[in-house]
A and B are shown apart, each in its own frame.
Chain A
Amino acid sequence: MNLTPDNTVMFTLWGLPINATIFYTWFVMILLTGASMLITRNLRPDVPPNRWRTTLEVIVKGIQSQIAEIAPGPSRHLLYFAGTLFLFVAVSNLLLVVPGFEPPTSSLSTTTALAISVLIAVPLFGVSSRGLGGYLKTYLEPSFIMLPFNIISEFSRGISLAIRLYGNIMSGAVIAAILLTVAPFFFPVVMDVLGLLTGMIQAYIFAILATVYISSATAPPSQPEKDIL
């Protein structure tokens, strides 16, 4: 039994093996981008919004309002980053119910990649907001003695993000697979429904935590950091 889709090679492209994680990631990417292109292709002020466009507006505005509750000020770049994190993780987890689909988020490589992305994004957003000196100064707060702890804290955030998401999704998929073997008629359905809920919650938590980390790095010096989950 494969605990990670990284070991499943789907095909080879120019001599490089394309495993299931990358393959299904591309699938999610094509799905999200294609749907967005289809819905927004006729998006003009003179065209009245249809139900699909309204749905997208609700999703985007919902993400924006969630970010606005955490971040100190409106930032489209933060929306692009955190919103993409949420949509990717959420769609990947929701597609768990599709037979044969292996969520990329059940791969530790994917969650690690996303955690690394957050780990890199935090200082980038911080530097762009406070400047390099202002951002580095945050590692010395409240005193220089806290520098190693702040550095450890920064990395532990990424690791906890990656492990939390991977553990939840992978365990859900593994439990569903085990139950499908033991009791193939009823329990897998219940577990899949539970997996959908868990997947959505994990996507929300992942995106919110990323937003909190970034907003704490971009918050003005006088403003205290918001509590994390």
Chain B
Amino acid sequence: MSIDWMTVGAQIANFLVLVWLLKRFLYRPILDGIDAREAEITQRMTEAVDAKDGAEAITEEYHEKLQKLHVSQAEMSETIRKSAEDQRDTLLAEARNQMESERAGWQAHMDDEAHKYTARLQLAGADALLSLTRKALNDLADETLEDRIARNLARQLKPMAADLNAAAGDGALAIVVSHSALAQSVQDDLVAELEIMFPQVAVTFEVDEAQSPGIMLRIGGAQLAWTVDSYIDGLAASVDDRLGNGPRV
């Protein structure tokens, strides 16, 4: 065991050189690289924290907007619901009114049709009654309907004499209007009867084919009708009364 001091000196020099070499090529590059990487990691962490904060802020803002949107959506839904209900009520009212109007129109049309039908029925009935009466009178009594009506009118005038005088006033002319010309004997009977009740009144006879079969008497302001139409009207009124004023269909 001996020490070679030359070798010792050389080894000290070698060691110092090795320290410098490793410092130059090992420690400094490695530590600088680690420091740079740590700085980069720190920077990235800072950026990540900033990004996370930003993302959280955006998320918070998004949640607030979402909350507002939900509230707005609820309000909008409520508004739309109310609007829809109002519109539905309006449409229902319009439909109801329109239906009521149509129903009223339909009812009016039905009533009109009923009236028309009744009128046609009356006319048909009157025609049938008239034809049958004419035929029966003609076949059985050899007499016309108008003649028979006139004779009957003559008999009916007596109970109404006072009323007719009051209604006739100062009338000087009595006009007897018939659907067809009356027989002379009938005219004479009628004149004789009228002269008894109205001595100062002149009697004239007129024919009006547009008039319903029968006799119409006009004295001054008074008018007395004894026609098939008036008879039918009276008959219809009687039927209505019996039906309790119901529709005449």
Contacts and interface: CB of A to CB of B under 8 A. Distances in A.
A56 interface: yes
Contacts of B25: 33, 36-37, 40
B191 to A, nearest CB: 146
Main secondary structure of the interface of B (DSSP, over half): helix
A88 to B, nearest CB: 6
B7 A117 contact: no
Given A25-B11, A45-B33, A80-B19, A60 B4 contact: no
Interface stretch (B34-42, B88-96, B109-117, B236-244): B34-42
Contacts of A79: 27, 31
A88 B18 contact: yes
Contacts of A60: 26-27, 30-31, 34
B30 A104 contact: no
Interface in B1-43: 1-5, 7-12, 14-19, 21-23, 25-27, 29-31, 33-34, 36-37, 40
Q: How many residues of B sit at the interface, in one of the four size bands? A: 20 to 34
Contacts of B31: 60, 64, 76, 79
Contacts of B10: 22, 113
A141 interface: no
Given A40-B30, A57-B34, A87-B22, A45 B40 contact: yes
Q: How many residues of A sit at the interface, in one of the four size bands? A: 35 or more
Interface in B165-213: none
Interface of A: 3-4, 6, 19, 21-22, 25-26, 29, 32-33, 36-37, 40, 43, 45, 49, 53, 56-57, 60-61, 64, 76, 79-81, 83-85, 87-88, 104, 107-110, 112-114, 116-117
18 contacts: A21-B4, A22-B7, A25-B11, A26-B14, A33-B26, A36-B29, A56-B30, A57-B30, A57-B33, A60-B27, A80-B19, A80-B27, A85-B15, A88-B18, A104-B11, A113-B8, A117-B12, A117-B15
Interface of B: 1-5, 7-12, 14-19, 21-23, 25-27, 29-31, 33-34, 36-37, 40
